[in-house]
Amino acid sequence: MGHEREGGHDHDGPEGGARLPRPRPRRAAHLLGGGGRHHRLRGQEHHRRGLRHRPQPAHRAEVEDGCRGREAEGRRDDRRRRAGRDPGGPGEGAGRHGPHQGSGLTAPELVVLGRGRLGQSLARALRARLVPGHDWRSGMPFKAGARLFLAVPDPAIAPLAAELAALPLPEGSAVIHLSGALGLEPLQAPAEAGLAVGSFHPLQSFPVVREPAAFSGALIAVDASTPRLLGELTRLARSLDARPRRVPPEQRTLYHAAAVMASNYVVALAGQAVDVLARAGWSRSEALEALLPLMAGVLENLQRAGLPDALIGPIRRGDPETVQRQLAELAATGGGIPVQAYRILGAAALELARQAGLDDESARRIEEALTG
């Protein structure tokens, strides 16, 4: 999921491959995190070696590593312009032109700080769906009203926000984190400095850097300390073809727990199912290959039929004998987590079966089979 070390979300790169275009005139957003030099593998390793000899907080290393790489990219851009091969200056016009017509946004700059999977994915989406962008380089000032998106792991949000709050940021700037688990508390330092703060969490999985289509149709949880910023983040989500919803602090823990269950635990469940087939003599690769189309079909059924009607199988049809036989075989071939998972998820399936119309007597027999 986007927010993870965890999103929504690991944010600690590098991921490689994603590259932002060279700066050109009429650039309206700065995108740090697009991987402007990730294609230069040798240079990347050189930076890593240097960082190991100079330990520093993770968020600082992440941002500074990106900034130094973009300084080198800027020197190459200067050489291209002197040779007549590049029509624009580094940042020429950047932030001076608003987002594309129809976006409904008023912020002159959208700055993504962080080079992890979510940060790079968001940068790609902003560039493709909303505004062009260029690499941020050390020493470039932020424009008035800049929106700074902190695409870093959850523990790094508060320290990075505090560092930003200590800078002479332009009037009207705002600091926004991308965590789904946290409210606005980690942004206390910029809030106390008089800045608007907010959160922007795509309810989506980013195991790799993904294309802009990953945001299409996804819910984006938004919140902000001011109505104006909340409105901007809502319009920004819609500009990415996503579905914005305000998720206030008191809902965040349950919201994130649901996201974990629907994302991380689905992967964990697939792992348990693979282990069960391995007990029958299948290789793990054979098992996963067989199960993936089944799991994809279940998601299609959920989209089409919804809950509880998408539920099928022995519990839905009231077949306690099959449940008893499967539990006995799982216990005989090693027991462990698969037995516990079968019982717990069976109880959850029984609740759905009741909602779908399973009669009381059949439900009672299923319950006995699960707990016997």
Q: Residue 300: pLDDT above 50?
A: yes
pLDDT given for residue 134 in this prediction:
62
- 244-288 pLDDT tens trace: 999 999 999 999 999 999 999 999 999 999 999 999 999 999 999
Pairing mode, strands 219-224 and 243-246: parallel
pLDDT given for residue 277 in this prediction:
98
Q: Residue 313: pLDDT above 80?
A: yes
Lowest-pLDDT range, 8-17, 104-113, 176-185, 300-309? 8-17
pLDDT given for residue 125 in this prediction:
94
pLDDT given for residue 68 in this prediction:
32
Q: If you average pLDDT over residues 24-41, what whole number do you get?
A: 33
Rounded mean pLDDT of the chain?
Answer: 77
Share of the chain above pLDDT 70, in %: 68
Sign of CA dihedral 21, 22, 23, 24: negative
CATH architecture of structural domain 261-371: Orthogonal Bundle (1.10)
Band of residue 129 on the pLDDT scale cut at 50, 70, 90: confident
Please identify which residue in the block is written with the tokens 């319950």: 367
Q: Which residue has the higher pLDDT, 26 or 281?
A: 281
For residue 241, give the nearest of 89, 343, 129, 91 by alpha carbon.
Answer: 129
For residue 148, give the nearest of 2, 20, 3, 29 by alpha carbon.
Answer: 29
| C-alpha neighbours within 13 Å on the C-beta side of residue 29 | 30
Give domain 29-248's CATH number out of 1.20.1250.20, 3.30.1490.190, 3.40.50.720, 3.90.480.20: 3.40.50.720
pLDDT given for residue 78 in this prediction:
41
Q: Residue 150: pLDDT above 90?
A: yes
Helix (H, G, I), strand (E, B) or coil at 53: helix
Q: Residue 100: pLDDT above 80?
A: no
Q: Residue 103: pLDDT above 70?
A: no
- 179-218 pLDDT tens trace: 999 999 999 999 999 999 999 999 999 999 999 999 999 9
Model-wide pTM > 0.85: no
Pairing mode, strands 147-150 and 174-177: parallel
What gap in Å lies between CA 366 and CA 319, rounded to an integer?
7
Q: Residue 174: pLDDT above 80?
A: yes
- 53-85 pLDDT tens trace: 222 333 332 333 333 333 333 333 443 333 333
What gap in Å lies between CA 198 and CA 184, rounded to an integer?
6
Token pair listed for 344: 């717990």
- 216-237 pLDDT tens trace: 999 999 999 999 999 999 999 9
Share of the chain above pLDDT 90, in %: 65
Domain ranges (residues) in the chain: 29-248, 261-371
Q: Residue 157: pLDDT above 50?
A: yes
